[in-house]
């Protein structure tokens, strides 16, 4: 009785195809992981003289308003940059009182561009007994609010720090949906 060996249907070409599929899957998976890790949205750029917003300010204002989620109407959006700290700042009005929101942003010195990124804090400053509260910065870092009329950091303004802002997710949503 003779035993015949069966030939494998898995040929050299089949092995190459499987290897190719595995390489493509690995590349696509790593590209998506890298994109998710470095997701950012360009907001503006810096020259030697000024900072210029390049993103759609209406969408920025809408994302800031949605982040606050309290009915504040944002009327001005700008970028402030001091001592290596960078913020997208929205000034607004809520029930006849001034309110400010500042979201931390990144600055890429190589291309002089500011970016919105996920998982960063934001700060709010609301007028209480003061008509015109402002952000109070120390060494470029927001540490509270102050009332310029009082010349001190005081309880005339309400300061709030939020560890993880929802701004990036709102902005991403408004950029994806074109109106």
Examine residue 10 and state whether it is found in any structural domain, yes or no.
no
* Per-residue pLDDT tens digits for 29-62: 444 444 444 689 999 999 989 999 999 999 999 9
Q: What pTM was computed for the model?
A: 0.75
Examine residue 18 and state whether it is found in any structural domain, yes or no.
no
Examine residue 36 and state whether it is found in any structural domain, yes or no.
no
**Alpha-carbon distance 103 to 135, whole Å?**
12
Examine residue 20 and state whether it is found in any structural domain, yes or no.
no
The answer to whether 140 and 83 are in contact (CB under 8 A) is yes
Examine residue 136 and state whether it is found in any structural domain, yes or no.
yes
Q: Which domain holds residue 110?
A: 43-176
Cβ neighbour number for residue 97 with a 10 Å cutoff: 16
Examine residue 8 and state whether it is found in any structural domain, yes or no.
no
Examine residue 4 and state whether it is found in any structural domain, yes or no.
no
What's the number of domains the chain is made of?
A: 1
* Per-residue pLDDT tens digits for 134-177: 999 999 999 999 888 776 555 688 999 999 999 999 999 988 86
Examine residue 171 and state whether it is found in any structural domain, yes or no.
yes
């Amino acid at each position: 009785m003779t035993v015949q060996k069966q030939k494998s249907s898995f040929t050299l070409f089949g092995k190459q195809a499987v290897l190719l599929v595995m390489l493509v899957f690995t590349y696509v998976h790593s590209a998506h992981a890298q994109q998710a890790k470095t997701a950012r949205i360009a907001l503006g750029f810096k020259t030697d003289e000024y900072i210029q917003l390049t993103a759609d300010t209406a969408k920025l204002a809408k994302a800031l308003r949605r982040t606050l989620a309290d009915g504040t109407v944002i009327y001005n959006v700008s970028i402030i940059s001091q001592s290596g700290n960078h913020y997208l700042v929205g000034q607004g009005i809520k029930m006849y009182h001034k309110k400010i929101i500042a979201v931390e942003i990144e600055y890429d010195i190589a291309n002089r561009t500011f970016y919105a990124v996920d998982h960063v804090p934001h700060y709010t400053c609301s007028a209480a007994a003061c008509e015109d509260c402002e952000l109070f910065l120390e060494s470029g870092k927001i540490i509270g609010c102050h009332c310029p009329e009082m010349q001190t950091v005081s309880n005339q303004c309400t300061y709030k720090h939020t560890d993880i802002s929802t701004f990036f997710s709102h902005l991403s949503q408004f950029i994806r949906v074109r109106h």
